[in-house]
């Protein structure tokens, strides 16, 4: 979904510069799925392996796995956009990563979420089932704060508040026994909350938009969890999800630019080839970079082995 998003373009000014029609509508609709689903999956994985007693060690590992690739690949992306004509560059090189770079805002936000959730858990919560009500209360509080508005773009703090409800839902799903009745209650709560916000926030467009985004996304994520969709093909590709996330934009942009240079204007063909290179290219990159411990460390944040 993320690869297709960048092929089509986040707005009509980016990617293939599609202003309207089915592809534009499809791309805009998936805003309720893409990053929220990534956030939920990150929370689900965290719930399986929560922070240990050593908080410092946990933070160090997350910094290596998240911030190091963000700094290396994200900086390379910003410089490439700045240098290459036709790559939709609007980055301020003096503020990169202070103001998030492209889709790498997700990594920066996720790191902040790990810091916050792990600290809260270490200081206040146990990992027993008795902690479930406190996690739900935290979910309600964080969702409310996001809807009220956190307009702090520096270091992707705003993005962290956006993703936090989905991260917490994912952690709840993996850590605690979630029966069907609880899912029904959560779903009904989202529906009721959506109705209430439309009744009382109709004069506050920004808050209403944030409420729509968070509650609709939560409903979609819950439905995906309930249906438990499985695919061997997607599972195989999913093994390389981090490398695809990091590097796909280089290949999709290059494919689009080369296609236009060659006079290819068939939108469907450009989308297909961009999707193909945007998935295959990063997989090849991972295989190549993993063969060298330094490139594996710098670009993927894997542990620097002594071999």
Is a pLDDT exceeding 90 seen at residue 252? no
Is a pLDDT exceeding 90 seen at residue 283? yes
Q: Residue 86: pLDDT band by 50, 70, 90 thresholds?
A: low
Predicted TM-score of the model (pTM): 0.84
The answer to whether 211 and 192 are in contact (CB under 8 A) is no
The answer to whether 198 and 14 are in contact (CB under 8 A) is no
Q: Which long-range contacts does 204-211 make (Cβ < 8 Å, 24+ apart)?
A: 206/149, 207/147, 207/148, 207/149, 210/146, 210/147, 210/149, 211/147
The tens digit of pLDDT for each residue in 43-81 reads: 888 888 777 667 888 888 999 999 999 999 998 888 887
Domain map (residue ranges) of the chain = 35-227
Is a pLDDT exceeding 80 seen at residue 184? no
Query: For 120-147, what is the mean pLDDT?
Result: 76
């Amino acid at each position: 979904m993320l690869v297709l998003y960048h092929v089509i373009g986040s707005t009509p000014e980016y990617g293939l510069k599609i202003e309207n029609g089915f592809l534009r509508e499809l791309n805009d609709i998936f805003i309720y799925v893409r990053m929220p689903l990534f956030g939920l999956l990150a929370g689900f994985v965290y719930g399986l392996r929560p922070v240990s007693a050593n908080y410092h060690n946990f933070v160090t590992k997350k910094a290596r796995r998240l911030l190091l690739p963000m700094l290396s690949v994200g900086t390379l992306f910003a410089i490439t956009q700045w240098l290459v004509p036709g790559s939709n560059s609007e980055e301020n090189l003096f503020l990169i990563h202070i103001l998030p770079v492209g889709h790498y805002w997700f990594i920066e936000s996720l790191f902040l979420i790990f810091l916050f959730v792990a600290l809260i858990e270490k200081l206040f919560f146990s990992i027993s089932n008795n902690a479930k009500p406190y996690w739900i209360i935290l979910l309600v509080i964080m969702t409310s704060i996001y809807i009220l508005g956190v307009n702090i773009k520096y270091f992707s703090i705003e993005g962290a508040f956006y993703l936090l409800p989905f991260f917490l839902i994912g952690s709840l799903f993996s850590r605690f026994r979630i029966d069907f009745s609880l899912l029904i209650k959560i779903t009904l709560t989202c529906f009721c909350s959506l109705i209430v916000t439309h009744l009382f926030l109709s004069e506050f467009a920004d808050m209403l938009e944030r409420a729509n985004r968070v509650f609709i996304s939560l409903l979609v994520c819950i439905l995906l969890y309930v249906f438990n969709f499985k695919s061997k093909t997607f599972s195989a590709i999913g093994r390389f999800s981090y490398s695809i996330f990091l590097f796909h934009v280089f290949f999709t942009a290059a494919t689009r630019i080369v296609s236009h240079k060659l006079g290819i204007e068939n939108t469907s063909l450009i989308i297909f080839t961009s999707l193909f290179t945007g998935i295959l290219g990063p997989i090849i990159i991972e295989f190549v970079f993993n063969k060298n411990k330094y490139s594996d460390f710098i670009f993927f944040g894997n542990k620097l082995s002594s071999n």
